[in-house]
Chain A
Amino acid sequence: MATEPNPPQSRPLSPHLTVWRWGPHMLVSILHRMTGAALAVAGLALLVWWLTAIADGATAYTEFTAAAAHPLGLVVLIGLTWAFFQHLLSGIRHLVMDTGAGFELETNKRFAILTLAGSLVLTLAIWVPVLGGLL
């Protein structure tokens, strides 16, 4: 801001997290950003590692699967799966809102809660059978 010529003194600031009462729409909004950043950094790093390991050969691939099956690796994978679905469902909600729809308070809140429930259900639907198979 300091580099702008004649910065206005009292421009409105972005709403700050601490001054609002939390609601599902607000949680979903900040989760969209956090899951997006997690997917961009950890998700894409894993994707590159996985594809490179497949191309590199058996040893590299075994290293990857060993890390993925490690308890910490599973936490990361399950977390990224949830982040993927949360970001995807929240993204669909944003596409709907981009058309100007769904801004009524109750509708907006309901869509927000649906993305939270949906991402949990989809994550469980994938990982409960997978973890069941591992045990």
Chain B
Amino acid sequence: MSVGDSATPLGKARGLGSAREGGEHWLAERVTSAALLLLGAWLIASLLFLPELDRRTVAEWLAAPSGAVPMALFVIAAFIHALDGMKVVVDDYVHDEGNRFALNTLLLFLAVGGASLALFALGRIAFGGAA
């Protein structure tokens, strides 16, 4: 996810930092955090204000655009933010370049797979076949 060339001049000149890059990554993490602040508040409030948490009530809530769209956005923002965050942890603690690449690739696959599963489930709830 690119948000523009955001390395500081000093950082650019010295080429330092544990990952040798990351201005865009740093900024993207903050953009998704702001999105999750709003969407997370919406999710908690929705769960608290739903009359019941049985399957019918929850499915009806998520089938309507007012439920499906924010939930899809929450899923996307949450998985991008989680992947960005876990990459920072891996970059900090895994020093072998091969292991680091392998772990980051595994995390990418898990995030894309998890997000796809969640979005596909939302699609089934919203577009029938799940009733």
Contacts and interface: CB of A to CB of B under 8 A. Distances in A.
Interface of A: 1, 3, 14, 33, 36-37, 39-40, 43-45, 47-48, 51-52, 54-58, 61, 65, 84, 88, 91-92, 95, 98, 126
Interface residues of B, number: 35
* Interface residue SS majority, chain A: helix
Contacts of A65: 53
Contact of A47 (B44, B78, B83): B78
Chain B residues touching A, majority SS = helix
Nearest to A91: B33
B70 interface: no
Contacts of B118: 47-48, 51-52
Contacts of B71: 51
B95 A54 contact: no
Interface of B: 30, 33-34, 36-37, 40, 44, 48, 53, 55, 58-59, 62, 71, 75, 78-79, 82-83, 85-86, 89, 92, 95-97, 114, 117-118, 120-122, 124-125, 130
Contacts of B40: 84, 88
In this complex, the member of A55, A65, A84 whose beta carbon has the largest number of chain B beta carbons within 10 angstroms is A55
B59 to A, nearest CB: 5
B70 to A, nearest CB: 13
A33 B89 contact: yes
A43 B44 CA distance: 14
Contact of B86 (A37, A47, A51): A37
